[in-house]
Amino acid sequence: MTTTPYETDSHQASDFSPSDEDLLSPDAAIDAELSSDLEADDAGTGAGKAKASAKPSRGLYRRVASKTIEVQEASPTVRSLAAAQLGSSDEVIELVTSIMVAGRASTSPLGDIETIQHAIKNDPWSVGITATALGRTRLKSIWSLLHALGAVGTPTPPASDVKAGIAVAKAVNDLSGDNRLELIASAELLKRS
């Protein structure tokens, strides 16, 4: 005999076996529901509850539309900076798609530039070491941003990590106030909301 919490405060024996008790846990109930949905998909046309729940919300459509307008209104330089950070085209549709599916790590080159700028102000003797210590992959990301700004001449950094680090540090030091504002604007453009 089973009882509900409303019938009595004392624990009474239930008719459930120990294996049935496992099914009462929330995780087991969710797993059972998902497996029954998948079985329904396999048995029918494939359009079961699992696919219906994956439908995008109105809020998502609003965010995408808002981001599209924001990208269209951005300057070509800001769009190219954002595209360089994501490794995508600066075409509006491609850039919006890349922004909406990108992870938070896509803004790390901007953080690296801020780290180098901080080293320039506080420890100018070690700025080359700070930049070089970022590693080849991160230096390439920074280099692509600096190239999009026109701060470096070639699209690829020097082959030597030390030379690349020093060149990046010099280029970051030489950034104009307008360049810095464009970097900030590109960081704002990369935010999904």
What is the C-alpha separation between 64 and 26, in angstroms, rounded?
34
What is the C-alpha separation between 92 and 20, in angstroms, rounded?
55
Residue 53 confidence (pLDDT):
60
CB 127 within 8 A of CB 134: no
Nearest to 109 by CA among 140, 71, 78, 151: 140
What is the C-alpha separation between 107 and 118, in angstroms, rounded?
17
What is the C-alpha separation between 123 and 109, in angstroms, rounded?
20
Residue 178 confidence (pLDDT):
93
What is the C-alpha separation between 117 and 133, in angstroms, rounded?
14
Residue 107 confidence (pLDDT):
59
Residue given tokens 């509006």 in the structure block: 92
Residue 168 confidence (pLDDT):
94
For the chain, 193 residues long, give each residue's pLDDT as a single digit of tens: 555 554 554 545 544 444 444 444 444 443 444 344 444 444 555 555 555 567 878 888 899 999 999 999 999 999 999 998 888 899 999 999 999 888 766 557 888 999 999 999 999 999 999 999 999 999 998 998 999 899 999 999 999 999 999 999 999 999 999 999 999 899 889 887 6
Residue given tokens 């810095």 in the structure block: 180
CB 96 within 8 A of CB 176: no
Name the token pair of 169: 């540090």
What is the C-alpha separation between 24 and 22, in angstroms, rounded?
5
Residue 1 confidence (pLDDT):
53
Residues in the chain: 193
User: What is the rounded radius of gyration, in angstroms, for the C-alpha atoms of the chain?
Assistant: 27
Residue 16 confidence (pLDDT):
46
What is the C-alpha separation between 77 and 163, in angstroms, rounded?
27
* The model's pTM: 0.62
